[in-house]
Chains A and B, each alone.
Chain A
């Protein structure tokens, strides 16, 4: 590990010097962002002989500028990740490089951006603007920057967002030496597309959202290259490979959130065409928080979500509990179980984190896969991950003053 840091050290120093230089030149620019180090420790060696210990370093400074009248702002946020083992986990991405202009009746956002759609917690079905940086985390909530022009109108009848999405970003996949992967390496660079424009196709999306007191509603439609690929087997240089195949899809999404007291009901549903037969998928559930349990300042939140997807013969359920300590260090623990009755699989996870001093955060995550004893013919979701139980420690330093 130390030798790894030393090897990478000079580059890191250069980057930090560069940031300091930028800071001095552009006194008006505010700098946020974070630098983090993580270590994932796997209990067993990988199914394909991969290492037990993987570490990585990530730097993602954020440069922010705002005009005096706060009507124009500019954000630049690159993200650099270096992994000690898996080259495919190395990343240079521009998360944000965008200009936001607020006009009287609308807002224009141009450049590379990230945007989130959705209400549920365990699966994000409706969210489609950005590609998933799948190797970053197991929950799939980390995204890659997407070039776009986004016009947003806020009216009495709700908020309407129109998107022109320019070009496409390929999903990241673990490499041959990486963990949490399929038996054959996925060759990102040989990705194939249905569209003749390949990864340069211009896609479109629209979303309307509105709230009526305790009810929140959103309807969206996306027409373009699917963020979720199909996989094709291929032979390249006498090696069996899997190639991602990105089709052109049309996806309509619905988001509903309804609040009754401390209870929030949630629903996300999609209908998609373009990848074989038209299919639908949905995630529905609720979240309930008990404030101040056992006469303390602790909050205990309960989460239950049910999944359905026409493409698979299973409907996994997720049950989670979030303990918020409400202390000086913003300590919290989230744990959950995802149970798939049809395949017999159980997936257990625990995430805990707390603030360290004013600048940093320490987090711990542990994921456990159990393939169960079902011997029926249903294909298992985590078949190739059964040796990938892991614990992950992360230390994040937040830049700024």
Chain B
């Protein structure tokens, strides 16, 4: 009996210790919220994107696109991506409305058929244009779409980082968890390890060349995505990023999707 009691005490103590870690959830959220400051109040932005796709043997191909972003107060952001190359997908465009709560909306425009097609938001986990990025990776990652937990402090390439774990709330996410390295001084994401549905460390995403725009918003110059299963790499370059370009809701409608070039 006494032995059992002792055992019980031990278990309770263990549970108690674990509960004190509830703070780690708060701390994780706090760190994530700090990164979000880079995305609140930016209004709108436009940028050209270049994607370099490298296969296992080092063969490189290029994709080009344009992206427009609009911040929507109290909701997720709106984005419009138009492809420039390869030539057979030129003019194909994707319009997305992200939401803080509930599933996102997404439409695809096929210029050859002049057709706007709604895309089921579940189908966003596969490779995007043959790259290592999925549409999920490229869509705006609202704070409300994850739960967070602080793990530890750690240096990454000489920079002091917080390491947090985030778990997607979207049941259709391609990931079960993501481990995120966040720079302590500038509150920007430096690295993400993506774990797939089998909890296998599938991809590593590295953010490089952060630049400060409008004295306030940090944006990376390039994002690398390394797939550990296929050994393929995709690098996304942001070129000519501009802010306050005068975009409004009207530039993110189905009519604007139809005339995007």
User: Which residues of A line the B interface, CB within 8 A?
Assistant: 30, 32, 64, 66, 73, 100, 102, 104, 107, 114-116, 118-119, 141, 152, 154, 159, 209, 211, 213-214, 216, 257, 259, 261-264, 289, 291-292, 297, 299, 324, 326-330, 355, 358-361, 396, 398-400
Contacts and interface: CB of A to CB of B under 8 A. Distances in A.
Contact of A297 (B126, B172, B250, B254): B126
A400 B86 CA distance: 10
B3 interface: no
Contacts of A30: 261
B123 A291 contact: yes
B130 A327 contact: yes
Interface stretch (B12-20, B114-122, B203-211): B114-122
A289 B103 CA distance: 17
A261 B114 contact: no
Given A73-B259, A213-B102, A398 B122 contact: no
B75 interface: no
A396 B88 contact: yes
Contacts of B85: 358
Q: Output the residue of B86, B116, B253, B254 with the most chain A CB within 10 A.
A: B86
A102 B257 CA distance: 13
Interface string B68-94: 000000000000000001111111000
Interface string B169-207: 000101000000000000000000000000000000000
B255 interface: yes
24 contacts: A30-B261, A32-B87, A32-B91, A114-B114, A116-B115, A116-B116, A159-B254, A159-B255, A213-B102, A259-B118, A261-B120, A261-B172, A262-B120, A262-B122, A289-B123, A292-B125, A297-B127, A326-B130, A328-B55, A330-B86, A330-B88, A330-B89, A355-B86, A400-B87
A216 B120 CA distance: 12
Interface of B: 53, 55, 61-62, 85-91, 102-103, 105, 113-116, 118, 120-123, 125-127, 129-130, 172, 174, 230, 250, 253-255, 259, 261
Nearest to B85: A358
A118 B102 CA distance: 26
A324 B121 CA distance: 17
A259 B102 CA distance: 13
B114 A154 contact: no
Contact of B130 (A66, A289, A328): A328
B88 A326 contact: no
Contact of A291 (B89, B125, B130): B125
Given A261-B172, A327-B130, A358 B118 contact: no
Contact of A263 (B61, B118, B120, B261): B120
A324 B259 CA distance: 27
Contact of A259 (B91, B121, B254): B121
Given A116-B113, A263-B120, A328 B88 contact: no
Contact of B253 (A154, A289, A399): A154
B173 to A, nearest CB: 11
Nearest to A107: B255
A396 B89 CA distance: 12
B90 A398 contact: yes
Given A116-B116, A292-B174, 10 more contacts: A32-B91, A116-B115, A118-B115, A214-B103, A262-B120, A264-B120, A292-B125, A358-B85, A358-B86, A400-B87
B61 A358 contact: yes
Contact of A326 (B61, B118, B121, B127): B127
B130 A116 contact: no
B135 to A, nearest CB: 10
Nearest to B55: A328
B88 A154 contact: no
A100 B253 CA distance: 16
Nearest to B124: A291
B232 to A, nearest CB: 9
Contacts of A107: 255, 259
A104 B87 CA distance: 32
A361 B61 CA distance: 16
Nearest to B128: A326
B139 to A, nearest CB: 15
Contacts of B120: 259, 261-264, 289
A326 B126 CA distance: 7
A115 B258 CA distance: 10
Given A360-B88, A398-B87, A66 B118 contact: no
Nearest to B259: A100
Contacts of B259: 73, 100, 102, 107
A364 to B, nearest CB: 15
A214 B87 CA distance: 32
A330 B86 CA distance: 10
Contacts of B105: 211, 213
Contacts of A259: 118, 120-121
A14 to B, nearest CB: 23
A209 to B, nearest CB: 8
A297 B61 CA distance: 18
